[in-house]
Structure 1
Amino acid sequence: MIILELKIGKSEWIFLFLCMVLGIVAEEAFFRAEIGISYLVFITAFYGLFFYRYRGFSFAHQRFGYLVLICIWLLAAGYFINDNSYFFALNILVIPGLVFFHLILITSQKNIRWNKSAFITYMLSKLWLAIKYNFQFLSQLGTYFKQGVDESKFLVWKKVLIGILISVPVLFVVLGLLISADSQFERMLGGIPQWFQMLDGEVIFRIMIVLFYTFVFFGLMQALIKKQINVIIHDDKQKFTLDGIITLTFLVLINVVYVLFTIVQFKYFFSGTLQGDFTYAEYARKGFFELLFVTLINLTITILVLTYESKSTGYIKRIIQSQLTILVISSGVLLSSAFMRLSMYEEAYGFTFIRVMAHSFMIFLVVIFMYTLVKIWMEKLSLFHFYFISALLYYTLMNVINVEQIIVTNNLERYEQNGKVDIHYLNSLSHTGVLGLIDLYKVTPELPGLKDILIERKNEANISHISWQSYNLKRIQANDELRKLQIQ
């Protein structure tokens, strides 16, 4: 149950104006050109307005809040420092989600635990509260402007406005069809006064975007700072449980399979010998994804048992813990095997974004499994708390370190060793790949196809114009190197 008091005063009008300015900044940052430094500019403006509105506010969960805030800034800075299209696309959703989570986290009550499932419900209630606040504000705004106006006349104008709003989208479609159907009608519309033709559809669209952002910022920040009465029911009673005997039987059977598989891995893979007609690269390609998928299944099983097992006691509990330990160790062997398979596959076919990310994800899983192993014997530890923070740090780190630079460096080293390199894949990367091709050209200018690619890239650099929104260090560096490159 949430009770929200709404009063429109001078401070609300000032803050609404500031939110409109922030809405203009958002439109300029995201809808004018390719995103670059503009995301960092927007985040700076957004949190500047937020901390101005919440000056003197007593924030909760400050240490974890600072961690999330640092990650948000680093992810936003990635648009300026690096140039990775994969992360750029993901961060369109990740950064706004983290910002929303951060605002709810630090403005919540101090006794609310963010690592519980009830916090998701709490976040959704705050989102609904922000939407409700905007409707209440607009309703009171209408009441404010209605003062001193005859009720019947106000109702008429209200209905006229609603009719106009309903007719506009229909008229756009109908007029477009009629103009296409009859040239005479099109010429007749050409005689409409010039002032009417100034209603550019793009301008209207941008105004709508600004207003949308304005009320998103205004509603959310205003709703969170208002006095509220929150009734949160903490239901710590576990409704679903796993029987100890059934769980133990299941773990024993599945661990037998994993122990046999581990023996096979040590016999063939870790010993450096293979049987049959498989090469190492073929063997790696054959089993990598299967092993990784099984590892994720094992992690899911371990989490479910730790969460829902019916808290057996005595020797049953110890045996279950031992079986979970075997499961985690077996998962480590699977990860090692998958890691080695992928390494051999990269040696045979080169390094790509997906392969390097798969390597990094397996290292992340090792960290997760190590913590889970400790959790098996120390029950008071929180799994979700560690998983969330480690996943956030892992994702932020992969954004910051420039994965594409690792790909380029390793592919160039591989070329020095065996003379094999996929220049077309390097060209498909961002400007980091272009810088790698330039380095490759300086060493081996006669490489087939390389000269043509760099000439095309140089021509693009010579005619390119980078707006302030798209300013990116890698893009600027690559264009400068291309312009200086002596190639005909």
Structure 2
Amino acid sequence: MDTQQTPGPQPTSSQPPTHATIKQQPPASQRTKRRVIATMATALAITFVFDRFVCSSTLPECVYGYALPLFWMLCLALVTALHWTSVRRRPYTWLVVGTITALSVWNMLSVSATAYCGNIDYALTSFLAQPMLLMLHCQLADGRYSVWHPFQVARDWLTGWLMQPFANLGRVFESFTILVRSADSSGKRSKAREIGMAMLVSVPLLLVIIPLLASADRIFRYELASAIGHPDLAAITIHTLIVIVPWPFLCSLLLGLDIGAKEPSKSRHIVLSPATTVTVLSVILVVYALFCSVQLRFLFAGALTDGSISLPDGLTYSAYARDGFFQLLAVAAINLAVFGIALISTPRTPWLNATLGGLLAVTAIMLASAALRLGLYIGAYGLTWLRYASLTFIALLAIAIVLCAIRMFTSRLPLVATLAALVMVWYVALGFSNPDWVCGAYNATHGFSSAYSPDNPATWMF
């Protein structure tokens, strides 16, 4: 009689893979080589594009104003392509990509070849906002961030400027060894690779040595000119150095962005006692209550009754608004930061909720005071670029206060990530609203035709 036996575990899973199985997936060393080559090529492409677009004096005059926005877009495209596998699945990364692209389009639409250098919004965007956002994109590109741990992202962003360009320089130089090696050291491919690496090292050295020798000996310079013509060796050397010198530091940054290059960060959560947090907030609220009582007495009372404000003798609207406006915005921003720290680091109690609600309330009064001061100033002296930006920033902070209030009742809202996204949307909306046109239209309508001129930097300020 045949007996049926239960088959045991298949031995194929525990046996070593066959030669055919190994060929289906490249070895780890080969994948490492490909990744290193792609990273180093991306870094070289960025430095080369920087030299050609930003540092080159051979660009047509009509392209000058568009070179820097195009450079940031190319950098964005190269970094995104390098980390495409992780970038494509993360919506927040695409928000940063869209913001950088929109800011580049904004600058290219509003720039002119003759006046772009004197445009304040062009300067702030191209030299400050876009580099900061591009570094943020680099730190988010590996896909290891979390919207619930914004301080980790902030730390990575800061080290991206201060540490990461230097932390992996050893890996950059070791990568040359990886590129020189091959599977068969005796093959022709290896010899060709070694010759190519030798030429790669020799070319920048020759570009430095030859101009020095030509400057040291006239006969050598004459013979060199008769052989190769009259190239500008000094310019060639300078542009080569612009490409080569920052390249290893950029390689270090990009190599550090790989998933396997950064060690998993350990989140350190600081816990404050409710008594400590409530005491600190209560002391702050006492001071804020005194300030708000002054505002309600002098500022809001007159504005709500007859539309005028009785200021002390010798104090003008201009001095009153100018002296306190930015200080109020700074205090409001500090209050929101204190709110976030207290919310995430202190166990929730009724007293904590009460003090946090009071902090949001006095912050709202401060914003209202700043908005009223700015409205008086605009009504008396007209609208400028900075006054318009400040007005929209007050609206941004007001929305932030509403989001903070919502966060008190639900823990499903990633507050810091939402506020960061809101700032990016605000900045893009500010640019596409065409501040020059808005200021000009307002001033022309209200009789302040000379208060703002996009060609006069003196009229941009507060």
TM-score, with length taken from structure 2: 0.68
Match of 1:87 in 2: 121
Distance 1:207 1:314, change over 3 A: closer
Say which SS state the counterpart of residue 268 (structure 2) adopts. coil
Please report how far the alpha carbon of residue 70 of structure 1 lies from its aligned counterpart in structure 2 after TM superposition.
Answer: 0.6
Q: How many residues align?
A: 397
Once residues 101 and 360 of structure 1 are traced to their aligned partners in structure 2, the CA distance between those partners, rounded to angstroms, is 24
Say which SS state the counterpart of residue 236 (structure 1) adopts. coil
CA contact (8 A) 1:29 1:38 kept: yes
Distance 1:256 1:89, change over 3 A: same
Once residues 302 and 260 of structure 1 are traced to their aligned partners in structure 2, the CA distance between those partners, rounded to angstroms, is 22
Match of 1:342 in 2: 377
Match of 1:473 in 2: none
1:211 to 240, 244, 265: 244
> Cα deviations across residues 322-365 of structure 1 (Å, max 9, x unaligned)?
432431332233133223223223xx3x3322222222222222
The residue identity in structure 2 corresponding to 1:237 is I
2:320 paired with 1:255? no
Match of 2:341 in 1: 307
**Structure-to-structure mapping, 1:230-269, within 5 angstroms:** 230-238=263-271, 242-269=276-303
Match of 1:455 in 2: none
Once residues 226 and 255 of structure 1 are traced to their aligned partners in structure 2, the CA distance between those partners, rounded to angstroms, is 50
Distance 1:105 1:188, change over 3 A: same
Sequence identity of aligned pairs in percent?
A: 11
Match of 1:103 in 2: 138
2:317 paired with 1:283? yes
Once residues 38 and 352 of structure 2 are traced to their aligned partners in structure 1, the CA distance between those partners, rounded to angstroms, is 62
Say which SS state the counterpart of residue 366 (structure 1) adopts. helix
Say which SS state the counterpart of residue 321 (structure 2) adopts. helix
Greater Cα shift, 355-364 or 314-323: 314-323
Once residues 81 and 209 of structure 1 are traced to their aligned partners in structure 2, the CA distance between those partners, rounded to angstroms, is 29
Distance 1:137 1:246, change over 3 A: closer
Distance 1:399 1:140, change over 3 A: same
Distance 1:355 1:283, change over 3 A: same
2:110 paired with 1:78? no
CA contact (8 A) 1:68 1:102 kept: yes
Match of 1:136 in 2: 174
Match of 2:388 in 1: 356
The residue identity in structure 1 corresponding to 2:96 is V
CA contact (8 A) 1:259 1:330 kept: no
Once residues 318 and 430 of structure 2 are traced to their aligned partners in structure 1, the CA distance between those partners, rounded to angstroms, is 25
1:28 to 42, 52, 60: 52
CA contact (8 A) 2:320 2:373 kept: no
Once residues 340 and 167 of structure 2 are traced to their aligned partners in structure 1, the CA distance between those partners, rounded to angstroms, is 35
Please report how far the alpha carbon of residue 79 of structure 1 lies from its aligned counterpart in structure 2 after TM superposition.
Answer: 2.6
CA contact (8 A) 2:298 2:310 kept: no
Match of 1:69 in 2: 97
TM-score, with length taken from structure 1: 0.65
Greater Cα shift, 390-399 or 205-214: 205-214
The residue identity in structure 1 corresponding to 2:132 is G
Distance 1:367 1:268, change over 3 A: same
CA contact (8 A) 1:75 1:396 kept: yes
Distance 1:341 1:273, change over 3 A: closer
Once residues 346 and 311 of structure 2 are traced to their aligned partners in structure 1, the CA distance between those partners, rounded to angstroms, is 47
Say which SS state the counterpart of residue 120 (structure 2) adopts. helix
> Cα deviations across residues 34-86 of structure 1 (Å, max 9, x unaligned)?
6433345445544554455445x244761111111110101111231112622
Match of 1:469 in 2: none
CA contact (8 A) 1:26 1:213 kept: no
Say which SS state the counterpart of residue 68 (structure 1) adopts. helix
Match of 2:308 in 1: 273
The residue identity in structure 2 corresponding to 1:31 is C
2:346 paired with 1:333? no
Once residues 397 and 262 of structure 2 are traced to their aligned partners in structure 1, the CA distance between those partners, rounded to angstroms, is 41
The residue identity in structure 1 corresponding to 2:172 is N
Match of 2:19 in 1: none
Greater Cα shift, 8-17 or 384-393: 8-17
2:455 paired with 1:427? yes
Distance 1:60 1:244, change over 3 A: farther
Distance 1:261 1:136, change over 3 A: same
Match of 1:468 in 2: none
Match of 2:327 in 1: 293
Greater Cα shift, 17-26 or 84-93: 17-26
Say which SS state the counterpart of residue 108 (structure 1) adopts. coil
The residue identity in structure 2 corresponding to 1:301 is N
Greater Cα shift, 121-130 or 265-274: 121-130
Distance 1:53 1:400, change over 3 A: same
CA contact (8 A) 1:262 1:330 kept: no
Once residues 259 and 336 of structure 2 are traced to their aligned partners in structure 1, the CA distance between those partners, rounded to angstroms, is 43
Please report how far the alpha carbon of residue 246 of structure 1 lies from its aligned counterpart in structure 2 after TM superposition.
Answer: 4.5
Please report how far the alpha carbon of residue 9 of structure 1 lies from its aligned counterpart in structure 2 after TM superposition.
Answer: 4.4
Gaps of 5+ in 1: 149-156, 176-184, 434-488
Distance 1:422 1:342, change over 3 A: closer
Higher relative contact order (CA 8 A, sep 6+): 1
Once residues 393 and 122 of structure 1 are traced to their aligned partners in structure 2, the CA distance between those partners, rounded to angstroms, is 22
Please report how far the alpha carbon of residue 422 of structure 1 lies from its aligned counterpart in structure 2 after TM superposition.
Answer: 5.6
1:401 to 428, 433, 446: 433
The residue identity in structure 1 corresponding to 2:51 is E
Distance 1:298 1:188, change over 3 A: same
Match of 1:152 in 2: none
